[in-house]
Amino acid sequence: MQDGESHLGVGIGDFIFDLHLAAGNGLLDALDSALRHACTAPYLNPLMQCGNGAVSQLRRAVMLLMTEGTDATQIKILEKLLIPREGAVLRKPVQVGNYTDFYASIDHATNVGRLFRPDQPLLPNYKFVPIGYHGRASSLILSGTPVSRPHGQTKPPSADLPTFGATKQLDYELEVGVYVGTGNSLGHSISIESAEEHIFGISLVNDWSARDIQAWEYQPLGPFLGKSFATSISPWVVTMDALAPFRVPLAPRPSGDPAPLPYLSSPAGAAAAIDLKLEVHLSTQAMRDSAQLPVQLSSGNLRSLYWSFAQMLAHHTSNGCNLLSGDLIASGTLSGPEEGSQGSLLEISHRGTTPFKLANGEIRSFLQDGDEVILRGFCELPGLPRIGLGECRGIIAPPIAHTHE
C-alpha cells in the first residue's frame, strides 16, 4: 500500500519495487499498454489476465531496470520506487471469485485415513481421481488476520446426542495454492498439456479446520462448517516463471499403483512438481510473554504431492467447469512420508489421543486461544538466488459470542 492506495509490488530483498509508480514514471513504456495498465491496478487480476508470456516480459523488464546501467535521473526515480518491506502495509493480492481445495497429498490422506478407517486408509477412488471440494472465497483472509474460534455441532463417540458450542479441536492445515491466470470457457476443458499455461503463480495457504465439527458433519457430503469459517492466504504470490529453476518431475508412483487415466497423464519428462521447502512454526501466548522464539512443528516439501497442480486443473475442468482469472486452487494438507513432516495437528497428535510437549513445557493436542501458527516456504539451490514465499500467519482469538443478525 502506498499513500493510502494499494500498489502492486515485486519483492526484491528487503525492499518492494513499486510497479504502479514505475509505470507512472515511464520506466515500463517499452511494454504493451495493457500490461502497463495492469501494473497500476490494486489487485493482480488484470496482470493475470495478460497471460504468462506477458508476466515473463514484465519480470525481465524489472530485472533489467535493477541490473543495467541507467542515467542519474533514472537512478533517483528507482530509489523512490524501492519501498522498505519493514513497515509496508500488505493487502490481499488477488480478488478471488472461487476457491477449490484438493486432497492431493497421499501421505496426508493415508495418515488421516488410518485414524478414521484403520482397515482401509485410502478409499478406492483416491489413486484414480484428484479429490477436491468447493470452498468459500468469502472467508479467505489475509495473513495476520486473527482467527476466531468457530461454533458448531459436535458429537463425541461417547455422547448420545450432539451439542452446539465452540470447537475444542481447532487445527491448521499446511497448504500451497495456485492462482489461475487465464481461465477457460464454460463447457470447455483445459488439457493436461496446456494446464501450466493457466497457472499464474503460487502462494502459502492455511485452511483452518475444526476437527470435531468436521468429524460429525462430513458424511455423506464432505467438508462444510468445519472448514468455511476462515482460510488464511499469504500476501505474496510467486510466479511460475520465477520458479522455473526449481521444477522437478512428480515423484514416481509406487509399484502397483495405477497409471493416471490419459486425460491426467503428463507429457513424458514433464517437470510437474516444485522443489519447495515448507515449514510450520508455533508461537504460544506464553512464549511471546517470555520473549521465546516460535518452535518448529514440522517441515516438508511440495514435491511429495501425489497429484500435480496441472492434474488438478485438468480434472477440475474436465466436466466443462469454467475457471476464472484469480480463482484459487489449493493442494490440501501437505504431509510427507517421514516423521516430522505432518502438515496438521490431527496427524501429529493422532486425533488428539497423543498430546505432545513443546520446548517450554506446554502441552498441545490442538490449538489453544493465543496460539499463532506461522507457515513458511522457500526454494533454494546452490548457485541460485533463494526464492521465498514469505509467511502465512494466523493467531487464534477466543470465540465470538454466538449472535444472529
Among candidate residues 108, 151, 198, 281, the one labeled active-site is 108
DSSP string over 201-232: EEEEEE--EEHHHHHHH-TTT--STTTTT-EE
State the Cα–Cα distance between residues 293 and 281, nearest whole angstrom.
10
Q: Which residue has the cell 512454526?
A: 281
168 is in an annotated binding site: no
- Report the C-alpha gap between 377 and 302 in whole angstroms: 9
Query: 263 with 232: CB under 8 angstroms?
Result: no
CB 241 within 8 A of CB 211: no
Name the phi and psi angles at 179, rounded to 5.
-100, 135
Q: Is the dihedral of CA 182, 179, 347, 399 positive or negative?
A: negative
Give the pTM: 0.95
pLDDT at site 14 = 92
What's the confidence (pLDDT) of residue 256? 94
**Does 99 count as an annotated binding residue?**
no
Alpha carbons within 13 angstroms on the beta-carbon side of residue 379 total 24
Q: Give me the residues paired with residue 135 across strands.
A: none
Q: Report pLDDT for 72.
A: 72
| Residue 108 is among the residues annotated as catalytic for this protein | yes
- Residue 173 assigned ligand-binding role: yes
Taking alpha carbons only, the member of 11, 12, 9, 62 closest to residue 40 is 9
Residue 373: which of 336, 316, 401, 333 has the closest Cα? 333
pLDDT of residue 247: 97
What is the β-pairing status of strands 209-210 and 170-171? antiparallel
101 is in an annotated binding site: yes
> Is 117 one of the annotated binding-site residues?
yes
The answer to whether the annotation marks 103 as part of a ligand binding site is yes
- What is the structure's pLDDT at 2? 54
* 3-class SS of residue 36: helix
- Rounded distance between C-alpha atoms, residue 325 and residue 75, angstroms: 35
Pick from 116, 119, 27: nearest CA to 66: 27
φ and ψ of 20, to 5 deg: -60, -50
Q: Report the chain (405 residues): mean pLDDT per 10 consecutive residues.
A: 80 94 93 96 97 95 82 78 92 98 97 93 96 97 98 94 97 98 98 97 98 94 95 98 95 93 89 97 98 97 96 98 98 95 97 96 98 98 95 96 67
For the chain, give the number of residues. 405
Query: Is 92 known as a binding-site position?
Result: no
Which residue, chain included where needed, has cell 477466543?
398
The DSSP output letter for 150 is P
Domain at 99-397, CATH class: alpha beta
**Strand-pair category, 9-12 with 174-180:** unpaired
Where in the chain are all domains bearing CATH 3.90.850.10? 99-397
Residue 7's pLDDT is 96
Please indicate if the annotation marks 76 as binding a ligand.
no
According to the model, what pLDDT value does residue 165 have? 96
Residue 43 annotated in ligand binding:
no
275 known member of a binding site: no
Q: What is the pLDDT of residue 69?
A: 59
Pairing state between β 328-330 and 99-102: parallel
CA dist., res. 22 & res. 28, Å (int)? 6
H-helix or E-strand spanning residue 298: strand 295-301
Q: Is 100 annotated as a binding residue?
A: no
Q: What is the DSSP letter of 380?
A: -
Q: What pLDDT does residue 219 have?
A: 87
